[in-house]
């Protein structure tokens, strides 16, 4: 039986029981039954550990304007601020503390393989037909992890755009695929850090402008040659494998975002 199915069964049983029994049945397992990852303590500023890093991964897209959330396992001011933005976006009490309500929402929006609900490994490894995360500068495991962080940023961007679908037209590319499509030799697509986006409901400029608030240090869109039909977003600032591209660079002149480092 799938974990989420079990959770639904427990809740259904609780609803069938009177008064006090509901709290005793639901309260304990509700926060400790997720198919991907389960937090077992409240997190706040000053705490550290692998559970903080797991939280930071999911908060990467709530970094705020021209900022990033480092995946360092230390719950500092940036992590707390990202948690507050997440809480505000999902109607949770805004206190910057990751407790049962925050975790419950994360369980609701992540799948059992830890990807956010609206994005998948399959679409992020589209390349030229899917390469299994091989053929880039990093190991397949490292590339896949980079793509996971990118997906959580995309989930936050999607939420801020009114929960309107974002379509990934290009994600990870192997070196061979990148060459085939005419990508730059140092493209962030090679690292699993990048995604090219379109939407049926939002304009490219709406995507580009909003992406500035969601941890993307690379944004290239309308007004730049080759980017008038999609918006490119990436995490070059967090790409420690290539220091030469470790700056924040945005360029979407037609959207009021002049080209340049930030």
Residues recognised as catalytic = 227
What values do phi and psi take at 90, rounded to 5?
A: -105, 10
Answer yes or no: are the C-beta atoms of 215 and 63 closer than 8 Å.
yes
């Amino acid at each position: 039986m799938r974990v989420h199915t079990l959770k639904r069964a427990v809740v259904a049983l609780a609803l069938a029981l009177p008064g006090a029994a509901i709290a005793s049945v639901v309260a304990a397992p509700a926060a400790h039954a997720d198919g991907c990852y389960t937090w077992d303590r409240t997190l706040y500023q000053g705490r550290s550990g692998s559970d903080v890093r797991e939280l930071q991964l999911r908060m990467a897209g709530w970094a705020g304007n021209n900022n990033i959330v480092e995946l360092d396992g230390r719950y500092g001011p940036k992590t707390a601020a990202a948690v507050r933005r997440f809480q505000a976006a999902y109607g949770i009490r805004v206190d910057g503390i990751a407790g049962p309500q925050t975790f419950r929402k994360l369980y609701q929006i992540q799948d059992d393989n830890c990807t956010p609900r609206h994005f998948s490994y399959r679409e992020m490894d589209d390349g030229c037909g899917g390469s299994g995360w091989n053929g880039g500068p990093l190991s397949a495991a490292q590339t896949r992890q980079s793509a996971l962080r990118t997906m959580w940023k995309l989930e936050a961007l999607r939420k801020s755009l009114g929960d309107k679908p974002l379509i990934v037209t290009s994600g990870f590319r192997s070196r061979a695929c990148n060459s085939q499509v005419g990508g730059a030799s140092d493209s962030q697509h090679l690292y699993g850090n990048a995604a090219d986006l379109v939407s049926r409901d939002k304009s490219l400029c709406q995507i580009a402008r909003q992406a500035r608030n969601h941890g993307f240090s690379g944004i290239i869109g309308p007004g730049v040659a080759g980017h008038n039909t999609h918006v490119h977003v990436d995490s070059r600032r967090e790409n420690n494998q290539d220091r030469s591209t470790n700056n924040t660079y945005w360029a979407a002149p037609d959207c009021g975002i002049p080209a340049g480092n930030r």
